[in-house]
Amino acid sequence: MNTNALGETESGRANHQSAELGRDLIRVLHVEDDPNCREAIADQLSDHGFVVRSFADAISLADGLAVSREADIILLDWDLPDISGIELLVELRRFGVNLPVVFLTGYGFTAQESLAFEAGAVDFIDKARGVEVLARRLRRLLKAPKPAAVPSASIVCGKLLLNPNVGRAYWNDRDVGLTLGEYNIVHLLATNAGRWVTYRAIYDRVHYEGFIGGSGEDGYRTNVRGTIRHIRKKFLQCDETFDEIQNFVGLGYRWANANAAG
């Protein structure tokens, strides 16, 4: 496989193989500093019909994005030179790169998984699971057709204002600074104001229905509680009297303001 001056490798077999498999092309930007791992993953994803552009570090990815943003998903390693994968995700969002981000890493710890989701990642996959599992999960994440961009009206619920067009939440006209995943949770709670929303429904809103994460059968509850804790902290930084998010132990959460959002 050829490597260019950007530290990037191109997979050339995907078009032909994808046509043979009768699948839609999925274009992946993959950042991995280990050259052997980078090439192996690109080769195996290509065998599954993906188009893969691989990069050795954050700078190479940035240069690649500057040339073209034609991609469907970004696949990040956690440990990268100069800037970590989680820091890279934050920077991508800060500069308006809103492609879905999946972590493919040797870490299988709940702490890293929770941090990834809090920063807005859509999945967190242990490298030990293998490329077969990776390919299935990437396809599942992207199988839903992308809706046309239609401007949406703002949603108001008491002091909360949600702007779905940019994924921003405002409290008393102040940007709360939520990640995309956190925004989606607040949107779910506020549009169901006064009604309890289960842990599972909250978790599925951030990922996808049936997603399994965390440790044990109910590990997702720990992730949800951790994310809600971060959301509350951000609202409290805007207003120390904030108490809209209520918990029903064993069930889930609700937005306390019973005034219908609209």
Q: Considering just the CA atoms, what is the radius of gyration of the chain in Å?
A: 20
Burial of 239 (0-12, 13-18, 19+ CB in 10 A): middle
Residues 156-213: pLDDT tens digits? 888 999 988 777 899 998 999 988 788 889 999 999 998 999 998 888 877 655 555 5
* Same domain as 159, residue 73: no
Q: Domain end: 77, 108, 142, which one?
A: 142
Q: Does residue 197 fall inside a structural domain?
A: yes
pLDDT tens profile 110-166: 777 877 887 788 888 988 889 999 999 999 888 755 545 455 578 888 899 998 877
Residue at a domain's end among 90, 107, 142 = 142
pLDDT at position 21 is 41
* 46-99 confidence digits (pLDDT tens): 999 999 999 998 888 888 776 656 789 999 998 888 888 888 888 887 777 888
Cα-Cα-Cα-Cα dihedral sign, residues 174, 177, 178, 183: positive
Claim to verify: residue 172 and residue 204 sit in the same structural domain: yes
> Which range of residues forms the domain containing residue 33?
8-142
Cα–Cα distance measured from residue 242 to residue 234, given in angstroms and rounded to the nearest whole number: 10
Distance CA 13, CA 16 (A): 6
How many domains is the chain partitioned into structurally? Answer: 2
Cα–Cα dist 121/76, whole Å: 10
By CB atoms closer than 10 A (0-12, 13-18, 19+), residue 48 is buried
Q: Which of 68, 173, 170, 177 is nearest to 118 (CA)?
A: 177
One domain, residues 132 and 179: no
Q: What is the pLDDT of residue 13?
A: 45
In sequence order, which residues have a C-beta less than 8 Å from that of residue 146 and are 6 or more positions away? none
Same domain, 136 and 12: yes
CATH value at residue 213: 1.10.10.10
Among the three residues 118, 142, 166, which one is the final residue of a domain in this structure? 142
Of all helices (H) and strands (E), which one includes residue 42?
Answer: helix 35-47
**Alpha carbon distance 228, 56 (integer Å):** 34
